[in-house]
Structure 1
Amino acid sequence: MNLLNFNQKKAVETTEGPLLIIAGPGSGKTFTLVERIYYLITEKKVKAENILVATFTEKAARELMTRVSNRLQEADIPFNLNEMYLGTIHSICLRILEENREFTRLKKNYILMDQFDQQYFLYQKIYEYSHITNIESIYGDRSSRWKKADNLLKWLNKVSEEMLDVDELKSSLEPQVQALGYCYELYLKQLEEENSLDFSTIQLETYRLLISNPELLSNLNQGIEYLMVDEYQDTNTIQEEILFLLGGKRQNICVVGDDDQGLYRFRGATIRNILEFPQKFDSGKCSQVELSTNYRSHPSIINFYNTWMVENNWTYKGKNFRYKKQIKPRDGIHVEADTVIKVSGSDGLRNWEEEVYQFLISMRNKGKVTDWNQIAFLFKSVKNEKVITLANYLEERNIPVYSPRSNMFFEREEIRLIIGAFLFLFPQFAKVRKWAENAHLEEWDIYDSYLREFAEKLRKKENHKLLKWCQIRAKEHVNLQRNTDYSFAGLFYQLLQFDLFSCYLEEVSYTVKDSRPIRNLSLFSKLLTKFEYLHRVTVFTPKSINSQLTTFFNQYLRFLINGGINEYEDNSEYAPSGCISFLTIHQSKGLEFPIVIVDSLDTTPRKQYSELDEILQENHYHKEPFEPLDRTKYYDFRRLYYTAFSRAQNLLVLSCQENKPNGSGTKKVPSRAFVELYKTLPSWRDATSIYDLTLEQVKDVNIKEEYSFTSHINIFETCALQYKFYKEFDFSPVRQGATLFGTLVHQTIEDIHKSVLRGEESKITDDNIEHWFNSNYSNLVKKERVYLAPQTQKVAFNQVLRYVEKQGKHWSQIKEAEVDVSLVKENYILKGTIDLIKGNNDTVEIIDFKSEKKPDLVKESEMMYHYKRQLEVYAHLIEERTGQKVSKMHLYYTGEENGNPYVTFSKEKKAIDRTIATFDEIVQKIESKDFTIKKRPEKHCRNCDMRFYCDDKI
């Protein structure tokens, strides 16, 4: 294990009161956080549930979880790590909301929208905003509906993130501000009607929950004793407010970050949070530690980016907008070599791509680069023609490129062909796509090219079977006489049976590079099922097929093409072996690479705020203006490239096509901001000492995955191939209709149990049960978009009443309900959700509910054995997590009308040990990608969307 340096040790052992850790690049920040958590657990004897750790990304949270659990295992210290509040601020807020949902506007089964969902939500409701006076000043006058939704989304999120007072906005004398207030008021109303949340309102709802429920906040303050917040420079206003509320009177808040790497102003982040943190407390109360020893980079690289930062003037009217710091290299001997160089195309020669290629080949041929993943290109954006051209140039010369955010999803062969297939299957789209005589969309040209490419493939002899099938289907669709039993997603899975598409699914290597086509097809399956969900499409009908086609191609798919789709990113491997990484600078934050090539040297500081931004900051923000607005473009520009330069371990490369011509002459490249440093750098062709460097290998992140019996082991044992497609590659199944009946019964019983646990048994009346039941049904229907017949609803309701009648005398035995339990094991995290735990003292019984009649225990012995093993996993989790002894395990059948609704299993340690050993073996198979099956499980095939593929291939 590495030893802590002096300042790291100070950061670890300073636990009481507020602490600011300024952690420069490569200074061992994550290592320090791990050791601080370890110190709290081992030396301060702090329990898991008393620690909150907020990270910047879910991936960072999972890595931290893995590293802490490994650290504790090395010391043989048992600890329920998953009890900790550990995750992004968004995920922690979501957990607090879910645990206390009854105190919020949210109902059960609320819908959580990502950014595309949110924009599409606004697009569908955009006409509701048109009556608002001066709405054009918010979403644009001549913009398309889609662009209006995009503009509106940004302003609505800003109101949430800055916690602006809606009534104050509405009463403003500024027409634009007033319009924004009315827009936000309408948006909140729409969210409530749809029982929805977006990522900004997750935080807003949490803030409101904490402010309006002092007793709840007090309980959280008592429970959460220590808070740690990573990447604090990228927090926004509402996040700071929430964290200080959770810190309570103790204020044991440790924030970690680097003001020089503040990159997310465009998302509402404010650098003032880290710069003003010490001033939030009485003078001298906030401790401060600086981690400035860089363990990552060569001293010359460190000197380069130190110089880059001091070149800028960070003082304005006597106020400094940067912590004064000097990053220094670790002690030791460093090789004498040129470690900051340039690899550029010469003025007027247009030879940039070739020069880059020759440099890469040179590093490989000299034996310096042993895996292409040691190299990362960093760009301001990877979605422009220049970057895509370079990626194609390198791939054509057998240098694979990993660029998941490059907007190339719709250019991939497998996606072009699948869209082309859909167009072929619906010949009528060519006629119905127009809404006016001269109407034309650029996407139609793209579609036409996809259709031609697919048609060319159909002419080949090996695709004759696919041609015949497509011709029959196309004829049926163009003259549709009756409802089909499928829609877009159903057709997608039928197409996978044919060689043209199945070739992408077979003998797949699990590397990111080789599995890109199958992962792209998986992503396309998600886009199809999302469309069907958003538009309530289940089948094609003669009446609706044409309108469904125009909506799918002219709106939904068109917006996705315009907005761009990110391809698959590996959660456990940030630099996939065998590939050079093409990343945005923002995307590279927190990462490190032996060789970093920084492009986008033609950029200049640009204004990032509008007139409305100025008005809101001057008149409506909760704090006085901080950084001068006209200086922010320079500050942000320096911070962006500082982050890029500091990713390099052994070799930093600046790269561009010098002085490239543009429409009006020649654009100066590199731009003025880079010139002074750039011109001092040697060209790679002259810097022969680069071949004396020993390059690091990319570190293995080694994230522990989570596995549960129902979501993983059960699927794998049913069919390993099904696991491969639906879990490993994450294909989205066609909606066969949610198990609405069982969920409805289950959730209403959960309401009853929660009432008991709150000490409110008197509220368990027929009227209240009916209210809970109807509310759950209403929100389930809204989310799942399927329905139950009135008679079926009545049967479900009677099951709940019967349960209350039979169990009403035993409420006092209930200890916990809907318990999420997890256990960190050596190689993975074991998880489960237990419906009910009851018992006395330290002996408990666990119960799992089934909303059906009790089966014949002899005829259904195989199913009973399966359920017994599931309960054994739960028993293992309970005993390992809490130390409580499980005496019995039960299934409770709510559909049993007259007999005993219980099926009871005795707990046997040997049986549990066998079940856990089998669990371990299956996890090992999953992680070694062993998805072979001896024969198909025929009875399960009829409900599996991959059956068409399997019918043809297996």
Structure 2
Amino acid sequence: MAFDFGRANDQQKKAIVTTTGPVLITAGPGTGKTFTLVQRAIYLIQECGVLPEEIFIATFTEKAAKELVTRITNELAAKDISVNVNEMYVGTFHSLCLRIIKEHLEYSRLKKNYRMLDSFDQQYMVFQNLFRFRNIPNLDGVINAKGWKLAGEICNYANNLSEELVSPDALREDRDGFVVALGNMLSEYQSLLEEGNLIDFSTIQTECFRILKENPGILGELQEKIKYVMVDEYQDTNYIQEQIIFLLAEKHNNICVVGDDDQGLYRFRGATIRNILEFPFKFEKDQCKVISLTENYRSDSDIVDFYNKWMLTTSGSKFKFDWDKFRYEKKIVPHEQSKIKSPCVVKLASKDDPDEWHQNILEFITNLKQSGKLTDYNQLAFLFNSVKHPRVTALSEFLEQNGINVYSPRSDMFFKREEIMLVLGCLMLMFPRYVQGLEKMEYQYLQPEHYAYYRQCILAANELLRKEENKELRTFIKGRGKEHFSINDTLDYSYTGLIYMLFAYQPFSSLLDVDMSSGVVDVRPSRNLAQITQILGKFEYLHRINVLDGRVYKNERRIDANTNTLFNLYMRLLLDGGISEYEDDSEYAPSGCVSFLTIHQSKGMEFPIVFVDSLGNVPRKSYKELMSAVEDKYFHRPAYEPYDQMKFFDFWRLYFTAFSRAQDLLILTCDENSKTPSNYFKDLYMELLDVKSPEFDIDEFKFNTVKNVNIKDTFSFTSHISVYETCALQYKFYKELEFLPVRGSAQVFGTLVHETIEDVNKAALRNEEHLITKENIENWFETNYTSLIKSQHSYLAKPQLDAALNQVLRYVNRQNGNWSQIKQAEVDVSLVQPEYIIEGKIDLIKGEEDTVELVDFKSERKPDMEKMRDRIEQYRRQLHIYAYLIEQRTGQKVSKMHLYYTGEENSNPMISFPYTKSAIEGTVSAFDDTVHKIMKKDFKHGCNNPTTCKNCDFRHYCGNK
């Protein structure tokens, strides 16, 4: 049967069927890039007989990766094609590199239990270790900053140099003292990562590249396996990403890159447009096939004509630059011509009067809503150069004051939210000594704006506590305050624990009562409270605070020192650096909200009505002179775009991206004055009609609704099903809202036993049974323990360590040197279902011939079968799901399932279950039912187990019910 191309046009069809050799697909905005990628993957599977595990697709966001998997699996299901798409390499560059590192961890510089650093963690790590950088000669001449900003600049340099594979040793041999300083700085930074068993986003890629380059066997295995490579958003790749892609695709040379050079926005992250522009020249002449997608299905033809015209305003213009070889010549064409007389590109302005500008915008939105043309505020998006600018936040506050909710997760408004100010105010009031210091202004690291903010929080909290209905909360805070003022011993809770106690009282308990099906607007305060628990939990982790401690250390009570550090250092840095509110991948335009986004943030999105602001903007230099010199000497290829023209290229690409987000109506908006709009926009801007013009008739328009994001969620038995079945409220708080469990830290003992047994089993899998000696086991055990205590900040006493080691040795002795049955260890398995993805991790797979047995290790004594019947039944169901995953994924027959109790000293350490098809089908059916309850956000039932409730962080909240 012929392949069904669906609605594909001729160029899309060509892109879908051109599967061999190098292919460049240039895809303008709205030209069906994702559709083409999905169909290309299906064509490879359906028509070319390619196995999913032979396909590698790299994207730039987790959302894009999830959407690709969802759309591919849905299409295959519709065609009744059954394959294991979960075997496909699909993900962001970082997640795919991390997958390769995890699969070959023993060949990396990392140990087990390494910790991933996000951008704040990375900067905070450097900040805590600035003393190691301050003595580097000439570094102050390279970076003119101090404290937190100095740490940020060090991270920026380290990221850029790492991703360009620049060696610190090479820099240290330079004659220029500033370049030498950069080399010493990079070396010191890398030492910090290695000492702490840490990895950041940049070194994920460099570590993956190093594994591939230094281990021909690993590279060869991957090259043999991966036959087709596809890369999305290729214009945003950097040097290290290009190197990894070409390494993986080297054997089969079936490499397809997709992108739009006009939307290259991430130079500041190290991305280079040269990768997409030079791609065809990486191969022999005419070997690379270039296919252009230019038919736009997204936007009205007026909008397409407008952004085409924008890209041509440079030619022979007063701006004195030309695209030359730095852009593929192209013209985007609309799928159909506009069907209305009104222009679809207009302006909305005021005359040097911000209040008038606010009022005009409000009036326009109100008229839209009253006309019935606007059915949901989420059809509107405002795009800015920065959402943190006071002009932008003033507009946001004005709209919210007038009943229009604004969704702006990256505007750094987190700390201005009422619920956050209240919770911080209440927390500070429970530490009277700290509040006294605030009143006296005796904290040298706080600036006036910090004092002002903390006082606002305390005033808001006091206003709350004065109300009669909050009498219980007032009594609680006063009681804790007295205790913390005079305590000289330890308590059984930390700062995060105190927050959970607060949740028992109004108004916090009402925020937690929120119905999760009520929409993002209502859920946002609850998500913000969850984020506060994460912030405090990370602080306690980084500063090794398990409980509040009133004992004196170095002439100061620890509770006072830690509280000062919390507010005067950690929280202050978050206040200065900003923190984003929660963003939901599955709903980028929440119902009931107008979106305020940066232009960068809006990339890949589309909205029926788009306001583009920041028209006073002008091109600005984005490179550092020193880095230009380093690039010329030490980067692995010479500079590409002329330094003096980069700012123009970036400027035009930025606004091309902004203008092309609009589907039905594009509005350029500003408060006109002598500098706004800038000369770069003025000519085009002045040609536009105003929204109040009689020639602009809103009644002619019919606006699209915002498309639903099609993403499948992932569920596992242990992390999701068992949690939900135990307590749906716990699931709501920990899984849906993402509160941080205080008592949820990993059990060091059990993890240590598991990891060392894994080392033993993997040695057997490598046919290195001769290495399974007592001495090596002790070395593996010690290495694992060292990495564990670094990551968990938790220790075991010597009797516990001895007991853990004995469990491993006993397991080895019981094998009697017979390791032949072991097939896989620590196996991540997943399976794509019609509506969701199941995943799990199996400790051990063993067996003979075509059948396999599953083993799940438990680092405890074998339980009483009768007394612990419920727990054993739960474990049995977990093994059922694993058996189902293995059979569906590999086709292998599961014969038995075992629980192996490593703590059992004398009797048989295993509890075994036979394979029963009907029982497994029943467990899978129950799993499916539970997932559907979760997807419907049915979180009403609580827990009726007193032991579970006693150990739950929300026991105060539930107890007050």
Q: TM-score interval w.r.t. the shorter chain?
A: over 0.9
Q: Is structure 2 residue 703 aligned with structure 1 residue 706?
A: no
Unaligned runs of 5+ in 2: 553-557
Distance 2:353 2:108 in 1: 63
Residue 20 of structure 1 aligns to a residue whose secondary structure is strand
* Deviations 1:229-279 (CA, angstroms, capped at 9, x unpaired): 000000111111111111123221100000000000000000101111111
Matched, 1:609 2:623: yes
Equivalent residue number for residue 638 of structure 2: 624
- Tell me the CA shift for residue 368 of structure 1: 1.2
Contact 2:516 2:937 in 1 (8 A): no
CA deviation after TM superposition for structure 1 residue 344, in Å: 1.2
Match of 1:327 in 2: 332
* C-alpha distance in 2 between matches for 1:898 and 1:808: 16
Residue aligning to 1:412: 417
Aligned to 1:836: 844
Seen in structure 2, the aligned counterparts of structure 1 residues 349 and 526 have a Cα distance that, compared at 3 Å, is closer
Are 2:449 and 1:442 aligned? Answer: yes
For residues 878 and 298 of structure 2, the distance between their equivalents in structure 1, rounded to whole angstroms, comes to 46
1:583 lines up with 2:588 in the alignment: no
CA gap 1:378/1:6 in 2 versus in 1, 3 angstroms: same
1:662 maps to none
Aligned-partner Cα distance in 1 for 2:710–2:662: 21
* Separation (CA, whole Å) in 1 of partners of 2:80 and 2:446: 70
What's the TM-score, normalizing by structure 2? Answer: 0.97
Distance 1:441 1:84 in 2: 54
Say if 1:199 and 1:545 are closer, same or farther in 2 by CA, change over 3 A. Answer: same
Shift, 1:509, TM fit: 4.4
Query: Matches of 1:651 and 1:887 in 2, distance apart?
Result: 62
The separation in 1 between residues aligned to 2:575 and 2:481, in whole angstroms, is 25
Return the alpha-carbon distance in structure 2 between the equivalents of residues 551 and 447 of structure 1: 14
Work out whether residues 345 and 657 of structure 1, in 8 Å CA contact, stay in contact via their aligned partners in 2: yes
Alignment of 1:540-939 (within 5 A): 540-542=548-550, 543=552, 544-659=558-673, 667-686=674-693, 687-735=695-743, 737-933=745-941, 936-939=944-947
- Amino acid in structure 2 at the alignment position of 1:814: I
Give the whole-Å Cα distance in 1 for the aligned partners of 2:719 and 2:38: 30
User: Any conservation in 2 of the 1:719–1:937 contact (CA below 8 Å)?
Assistant: no
2:400 paired residue number: 395
Q: Quick one: distance in 1 between partners of 2:425 and 2:452?
A: 12
Matching of residue 37 in structure 1 with residue 45 in structure 2: no
Question: Matched residues in 2 for 1:767 and 1:471: separation?
Answer: 57
* Cα offset, 1:347, TM superposition: 4.3
2:446 and 2:568 in contact (8 A); partners too: no
2:97 to 93, 99, 103: 93
Distance 1:499 1:10 in 2: 61
Amino acid at match of 2:491: T
Q: What are the equivalent positions in structure 2 for 1:35-434 lying under 5 Å apart? A: 35-140=39-144, 143-313=145-315, 319-331=324-336, 334-348=339-353, 350-432=355-437
What displacement does 1:816 show? 1.0
Distance of 1:312 and 1:772 partners within structure 2: 63
Q: Deviations over 1:881-906 (max 9, x none)?
A: 11111111111111111100110111
Over 3 Å counting, the alpha-carbon distance change for 1:735 and 1:116 in structure 2 is farther
- 1:747 CA displacement: 0.5
Gaps of 5+ in 1: 660-666
Deviation track 1:24-46 (CA, whole Å, cap 9, x = no partner) reads 00000000000000011111111
| Counterparts of 2:85 and 2:943, CA distance in 1 | 40
Deviates more, 1:245-254 or 1:348-357: 348-357
Q: Which amino acid counterpart does residue 609 of structure 1 have in structure 2? A: Y
Shift in Å, 1:750: 0.5
How far apart, CA to CA, are the structure 2 residues paired with 1:555 and 1:439?
Answer: 8
Give 1:426 shift: 0.5
Q: Distance in 1 between matches of 2:354 and 2:469?
A: 46
Residues 145 and 640 of structure 1: CA distance in aligned 2, closer, same or farther (over 3 Å):
same
Give the structure 2 partner of residue 469 of structure 1: 476
Displacement after TM superposition at 1:937 (Å): 2.3
- Give the superposition deviation at 1:935: 5.3
3-state SS of paired residue (1:503): helix
Work out whether residues 139 and 149 of structure 1, in 8 Å CA contact, stay in contact via their aligned partners in 2. Answer: no
- 1:597 and 1:654 in contact (8 A); partners too: yes
Q: By how many angstroms is 1:714 displaced?
A: 0.5
Asked whether the equivalents of residues 300 and 338 of structure 2 are also in contact (C-alpha less than 8 Å), the reply is no
Taking the aligned partners of 2:563 and 2:514, their CA distance within structure 1 comes to: 34
What is the identity, as a one-letter code, of the residue corresponding to 1:780? L
| 1:610 Cα deviation after fit | 1.8
Structure 2 residue identity aligned to 1:403: S
Offset at 1:177?
1.1
Give the CA deviation at 1:503: 1.6
CA distance in 2: counterparts of 1:185 and 1:349, whole angstroms: 50
- Is the 1:363–1:691 Cα contact (8 Å) retained in structure 2? no
Residues 546-581 of structure 1: per-residue CA shift (max 9 Å, x gap): 110111011100010111111011110111111111
2:514·2:523 contact (CA, 8 Å) conserved in 1?
Answer: no
Q: Provide the secondary structure at the position in 1 that maps to 2:845.
A: strand
**Partners of 2:958 and 2:102 in 1: CA distance:** 40
Distance in 1 separating the partners of 2:403 and 2:442: 45
Q: CA offsets per residue over residues 116-151 of structure 1, 9 Å max, x none? A: 0000000000011111100102332xx331111011
Partners of 2:178 and 2:280 in 1: how far apart? Answer: 36
Q: Which residue number in structure 2 is paired with residue 526 of structure 1?
A: 534
Distance 2:652 2:744 in 1: 52
Corresponding letter in the other structure for 1:291: L
SS in 2 for 1:697: coil
What is the CA-CA distance between 1:464 and the residue it aligns to?
Answer: 0.7
* CA gap 1:934/1:267 in 2 versus in 1, 3 angstroms: closer
In 2, the alpha carbon distance for the partners of 1:777 and 1:18 equals 47
Deviation at 1:826, TM superposition (A): 1.1
1:674-701 superposed Cα distances (whole Å, 9 cap, x missing partner): 0001001101111433321111111111
Alignment partners' CA distance in 1, 2:615 and 2:134: 42
Q: After superposition, give the CA deviation of every residue in 1:848-897 in whole Å (9 maximum; x if it has no partner).
A: 11111111111111111111111111111111111111111111111111
Q: CA deviation at 1:439?
A: 7.2
Distance 2:748 2:338 in 1: 66
* SS of aligned partner of 1:107: coil
Q: 1:86 to 1:358 in 2, by over 3 A?
A: same
TM-score normalised per structure 1: 0.97
CA contact (8 A) 2:321 2:648 kept: no
Deviations 1:655-689 (A, max 9, x none): 00011xxxxxxx42111100001001101111433
User: 2:581, 2:514 → 1: CA distance?
Assistant: 21
C-alpha distance in 1, partners of 2:721/2:506? 30
Cα distance in 2 between the residues matched to 1:923 and 1:438: 49
Q: Deviations over 1:353-396 (max 9, x none)?
A: 11011111111222211111111111111111111111111111
- 1:823 deviates by 0.9
Q: Please report the RMSD computed on the Cα atoms of aligned residues, expressed in angstroms.
A: 1.5
Q: Which of 520, 527, 543 is the equivalent residue of 1:535?
A: 543
Q: Is this contact kept in 2: 1:138–1:151, CA < 8 A? A: no
* Offset, 1:189: 1.1
